[in-house]
Amino acid sequence: MSTAEGQQAKTDTFMADMKKRLEEASKLTPEELKFSYKGILYPTILCSEETFQAMEKMEAREDDVLIVTYPKCGTNWSLQILHEMILEVNKKEPTMIKGMLEFGKPEKYEYLSQQPSPRVLATHIPCEDISKSFFEKKTKVLLILRNPKDTAVSYYHFTNKNPTLPTYESWDLFYKDYITGNVIYGSYFDYTIQWEKHIDDGNILVLTFEDMKEDLSRELRKISDFYGLALTDEQIKLVQEKTTFSSMKEKSSNTHGDLANVFFRKGEVGDWKNLFTEEQSKEVDAQFEKYLAGTKLGNMINYEKYCTF
């Protein structure tokens, strides 16, 4: 089977599975669509306690690529980047799973343990709940941050368009849950600040959605250097062309099926200004000040530039 056929077969299986899950989801109330594990809300249709327990015990590898993000900060974008980069350099697909590391059945970790390196994995679960094995093995971690206001707006549209997640009748109702950390995957601020203590570990690269929008090839070079992939300028250019918003959106009905428009919406910086009230904006400013101002991660978010009306 060719690489393209292999990719298509995996996508078809994912689509069939997703269809089943969407049917299951349509029978649940918004309350039934979420459950709590270790104090954080998760989607019932995609996650389970058994899978979390199996994931806590999973064996990491030194050469795994672990992408960590709060939802809507650029997960699919960075997954595609790593996929294209590794394919370009190795001329062979990396091991990838559809969806997040925490989705699906517990048996998936057994399957993953048998797959060849490098394995490209992504998770939204809080840093403190990630299998200790990743830290013991010093697996290289790619953390993608996005400013908290655009993240909220992206999340609002996503939760309303994705049948596996609770829907909200208005932006204001979603915003209330977002600011109190009552959304799936919990508080943006708790999530982000937990990574601050790993910032000097030496095996973490932090990029931002906004910097990637500003100059993608510059950020791609950082990823290539960090993972020792040594892409040539020509290869960086090729990967860049394949991972712009427009090229990913164009191919999204093949990669994400019915959920294409759910995952690839606008891909812009500053959309928050269309929904936030002055009062909500000030409330997020206060949260930023309390949790992230003056921290290394907080500085990287470039809050003044991206979060001022």
The region of 48-56, 68-76, 191-199, 296-304 touching ligand A3P under the rule CB under 6 A is: 68-76
Residue number, 54 or 146, with CB nearest to ligand A3P = 146
> Please, are residues 94 and 86 in contact by the beta-carbon 8 Å criterion?
yes
Interaction between residue 162 and ligand A3P (CB under 6 A): no
CB 107, min distance to ligand A3P, A: 25
Catalytic: which of 83, 124, 157, 256?
A: 124
Q: Is 94 in the site for ligand A3P (CB under 6 A)?
A: no
Of the candidate residues 264, 272, 291, 306, the single one contacting ligand A3P (CB under 6 A): 264
Which residue number, 145 or 248, has a Cβ lying nearer to ligand A3P? 248
Residue 44 touching ligand A3P (CB under 6 A): no
**Among positions 77, 175, 227, 272, the unique one binding ligand A3P when judged by CB under 6 A:** 77
Q: By CB under 6 A, is residue 73 in contact with ligand A3P?
A: yes
Active site residue 256: no
Asked if 198 interacts with ligand A3P (CB under 6 A), we say no
Select the residue interacting with ligand A3P from 106, 181, 267, 270 (CB under 6 A). 267
Binding residue for ligand A3P (CB under 6 A) from 40, 42, 55, 72?
Answer: 72
Interface with ligand A3P by CB under 6 A: which range of 31-39, 131-139, 181-189, 241-249? Answer: 241-249
Helix axes 148-161, 278-291, angle to 10 degrees: 120
Q: Which residues are catalytic?
A: 124
| Binding region for ligand A3P (CB under 6 A) | 69, 71-77, 154, 157, 243-245, 248, 263-267, 271
